[in-house]
Every structure is written in C-alpha cells, then in structure tokens.
Homo-oligomer: A and B are copies of this chain.
Amino acid sequence: QKKSSFLVKLSSLIEKHDEQHTQKVIHSIKVGIALVLVSLLYLLDPLFNQVGENAMWAIMTVVVVFEFYAGATLSKGLLRGVGTVLGGGLGCLAAIMADDLGKIGNAVVVGASVFIFGAVATYCRLIPSIKRRYDYGVMIFILTFNLVAVSGLRADKILELARERLSTIGMGFAVCIFISLLIFPMWASDELHRVASSNFDKLACCIEDCMKAYLGVVSEKESMPSINVSGCKSVLHSKSSEESLANFARWEPWHGKFGFYYPWEKYLQIGELIRELASIILSMKECLGSPLQPSTPLQHALKEPCKSVGLSLGLTMRELGESIRNMKRCQTKVLKLESIKLELNLLSTSHKLRGIANVESLAIANFLFLLMEIVDKIEH
C-alpha cells in the first residue's frame, strides 16, 4: 500500500511537471506567433507603406509586454499605454514651451525639465506601493517623456510622430492581447487557486511524515529518521510569488469560475495563515532532532493517540485543500477538529503528559481551527 501511494505521488508529480512543460511550450509558440504577426508590418509592403519605420515600436511592444500570464500581459500593456500617453503629452508640452525661447534657452529648459521629471519619477519608482504595481508604467513614462522632449527640438512634426508611434504601440498591444487572452489563455487566477489548495496538501504530507518519523523514533530509538521538509519550506517561501499572482489576477477579466470582483485578498490571508502553520510544522521537526526525548513509558502512552491525531490532521488538511479546489465549504470538519482538540486535551490532562509532540499538535489543531473559520468565510 505504501508503494502504491508512492507511485501515485510520482505519477502526479510527472503529470504536474508535464502540464507545466506543456504550458511553457504553448506560451513559447504563442510568443513566436505574435512576433511573426507583428513582423508582417515590415514584411508586407502595403502595411509598411502605412506605418513606416515606426513598425519597430510594435515589435518592441510585443517583446516587452507579452508575459506568461494573461493578467500580467494585460497590466503591462495598459501601464505601457498610460505611461506613453502621459509621458508623450507632458513631453510635447515641455517641447512646445521651450520652442519660443532661443536656441540656448531651449536647451536649458529641456534639460531642466528632463532632470526634474526624471528625478521625481525615479523617486516614485522607489516607493514600495508604487513599485509593486506601477513600476513599469513609471519607467515608460520617463522614457517617453525624455524621447519626446529632446527630439521635439529636432522634429517639427512632433504631434504626428507621437500619433504614429502610439498607433503602432496600440497595434502591438492588440496582437498581444488577442493572442494572450484568446488562444489557450494562461490565467494567473487559476494558478493562484491551484497553489492555495496544493499548499494544504503539501502541509498535510509534512504533518503525516512528521508523525511517522516521531513514531519511528519511538520504535527504533537509534536511527534518527530524516524527514523531507522541502514541501514545508516551499510553502514558507511562497509569499512573494503569491503576491505577484494576486496582483496579476486582479487585472484579469471575468473567466471560468471567477467573477469580476473575486476576493483575491482572501487568498493572501489564507497564504499568511498557512505560512504560520508551516513554520510551526518546521519547528516540530526541530523537536524530533532534539536530544531531549520523552521516556520510554511515556512514548508508548503517546504512540497511539499521536498516530490517530496525525492521521486525522492530515486528512483534515487534505479536505480543506479539496474544498478550496472545488470552492465549497466544508463545515462538517469543524466537528472533527473539535474532537481532535478534545482528545488532545484529555490526553494532556489525564496522563499528566506534557510531551513535546503533543503540545505542538495541540497548537496545530488550534491553528487549523482558525484556518477553518477563514475558509468558511471565503467560500460563501
């Protein structure tokens, strides 16, 4: 039975790996198609006659904006658009204002405005809240402002130039959006949803492994079992990737099972809680390695209840993950958790055991209870 569960794990791993690989290949092909489409602006004579050298901007837009997740592409494209328009507008204004002055006055005014806007916008990029969401837009703003302001000195038909560039950027963006959203779209929201539920499974594995290892110590005494905590650690370090996924997910339009104002914040809250749980499990592992172990009679008394508690905790975690996956509440589990807590309390008071694993799993049960409430809150 152990072997079969291992095989199941392995096959699911391969499947997951395969799936991610397929997604990457699909994304690469999509980028290739987008590049070819936008190159047609150069390759086809009638199109080239229309846009001319500005076709370059369409290619740049595609290369820079096309990201793995649809939400990321959308947000980058929109930021690029807004940044270009704002930067171009202000740049035009600066160039026109400087136009009346003489040759030298002109250069001074343009140089000063480049310095001031550049420095202020760069400072804005360093503010954490702006950096997290609008970094790319501000960068494009600086770039466009500079290009327009300084070339305003040279190009007389600056408005027309701006219009042409904007329209080619728009074409590039349209190609990106079309291919990213309509052909095998990769949604950041799906990924966030998957990560949130699979984190529960990972922790369930860790809890079960820990309990098994602890019981192993009890029976063999000598060999210190090494348990695999990589799952636990990956959960612990998931914060930044989860945040960026949630950030992209907010930009994504209605699709699949998610509505427009889907509560992405809740996922981050669940993530925070599950990371705290992961840290508790990690420190439980530390207890396993400690030289301070319960005495043998104590161990035998602990063995059975620990086993059952470990199993039901793991089961509960899996069910919670499942409930998130299917977007259903699981209210019956509250009762089960209550019974686990009761059992542990009984154990700790009646036998006067203050064993290590015991107290820890109580903390976990306690914690799962909290988690429970959050999950209930979401899946309404």
Contact = CB atoms under 8 A, between A and B. Distances in A.
Task: Give the one of A39, A116, A237, A345 with max B CB within 10 A.
Answer: A39
Interface residues of A, number: 75
Task: Give the one of A27, A32, A294 with max B CB within 10 A.
Answer: A32
Judged by DSSP, the binding face of A is helix
A276 B27 CA distance: 36
A87 to B, nearest CB: 10
A356 interface: yes
A183 interface: no
Copy number in the complex reads 2
Contact of A150 (B43, B146, B278, B359): B43
A325 interface: no
A254 interface: no
Interface in A354-380: 354-356, 359-360, 362-363, 366-367
A283 B279 contact: yes
Contact of A354 (B35, B63, B237, B356): B356
B59 A115 contact: no
A7 interface: no
A348 interface: yes
Nearest to A35: B118
A345 to B, nearest CB: 8
A96 interface: no
Interface of A: 24-25, 27-29, 31-33, 35-36, 39-40, 42-44, 48, 53, 55-56, 59-60, 63-64, 68, 107, 110-111, 114-116, 118-120, 122-123, 126, 139, 142-143, 146-147, 150-151, 153-154, 236-237, 239-240, 275-276, 278-280, 282-284, 286-287, 289-292, 294, 345, 348, 354-356, 359-360, 362-363, 366-367
